[in-house]
Structure 1
């Protein structure tokens, strides 16, 4: 027999028991450090991933539960965009808009003395389209023209209003009005890039 093992077997029972406990503690420590601790760390990481995925699932479930509301909101935003697009025309709709301004003035009973579009003034994503206008008619007809322009579905601002040449002909008082009508249009992506250059 091995002399070391023989030496251990001859030890008193208390020392044998102490040695056995020390060997068991050493084995338990090696087992814990080599096998159990990495598994616990992996378990903790997996639990963290599970919690993260669970919160994403909850968030997605909440979104899915609110999907009809989001669809309604989207439909409302689409309608608002359509309305905004009718207020700001694109390039091809400007001549029609200018014609409608002219028609509104004629329907109000005004005589157009001047209707001259000026060069556009590009801004960030839109362009101002100014038009010099000079009309002649009664004050009431001019007021009706301004109201009718304000009721157009497009945005048209009237500014620089100047009254002059007040005449009384055949029992009718007429006035000449010079003003600047400014409408706006969206710039397309190409125009915005060209403007930035």
Structure 2
């Protein structure tokens, strides 16, 4: 069965182009019609193809810029995190090194014995060697030690110098010097009575630290 072009497809009538009349038009009219057809085709291309693709490209460009911004922010966070981790490791190392200078409770007797021996080695006579009550300072405690010795000034200075060279921290303070009775020896050396406070420190382990906010339970009074 032959297709009737005039009836069109599916029985729908298509407009019949009057080719005979078009051939009789002037060149100017033909040019205008050609321009109109090209304009219509260009408009269809822009509307149906170019504009949707442009919008898609614009959206993808915005998404790309947002992704670049997020990536730059994450890189900055990563950089800061690395710097923070390094700073934390350095601080932790310094803290551990500082703890080595603080004896624990098991080392205190040996440290006090060392201080006493240094005094004897320096030619001093001890009149008083008395540990005082500990003073808690968060993660460490101060251990004051009252000391009174007699001996020449040079010997006292030697003793203080030896104490300062101990591997553990020991601070000498509250130094008072007075001339002792029977002050002069046969060599006319002046004997001084020196009193001072030697303060050492110990590290307090977590289980030893007093818990804040907890009140001691009062024992019920007996009536």
* TM-score in terms of structure 1 length: 0.67
**Structure whose alpha-carbon radius of gyration is higher:** 2
> What displacement does 1:26 show?
3.8
Q: CA separation of 1:120/1:19 partners in 2, compared to 1, >3 Å: closer, same or farther?
A: farther
SS at match of 1:163: strand
Gaps (5+ residues) in structure 2?
A: 1-5, 7-11, 23-28, 215-223
Using CA pairs below 8 Å that are at least 6 residues apart, which structure has the higher relative contact order? 1
Matched, 1:178 2:211: no
Aligned length: 181
- Name the one with the larger helix percent: 1
In the alignment, the residues of structure 2 paired with residue 81 and residue 146 of structure 1 have an alpha-carbon distance, to the nearest angstrom, of: 27
Equivalent in 45, 69, 74 of residue 27 of structure 1: 45
In the alignment, the residues of structure 1 paired with residue 137 and residue 130 of structure 2 have an alpha-carbon distance, to the nearest angstrom, of: 21
Moved more, 166-175 or 141-150: 166-175
In the alignment, the residues of structure 2 paired with residue 6 and residue 160 of structure 1 have an alpha-carbon distance, to the nearest angstrom, of: 121
SS at match of 2:106: helix
Superposition map of 1:43-192 within 5 A = 45-46=63-64, 49=67, 52=71, 56=75, 78=93, 83-168=97-182, 171=186, 173-191=190-208
1:42 equivalent in structure 2: 60
Gaps (5+ residues) in structure 1?
A: 64-69
> What displacement does 1:129 show?
1.8
* TM-score in terms of structure 2 length: 0.61
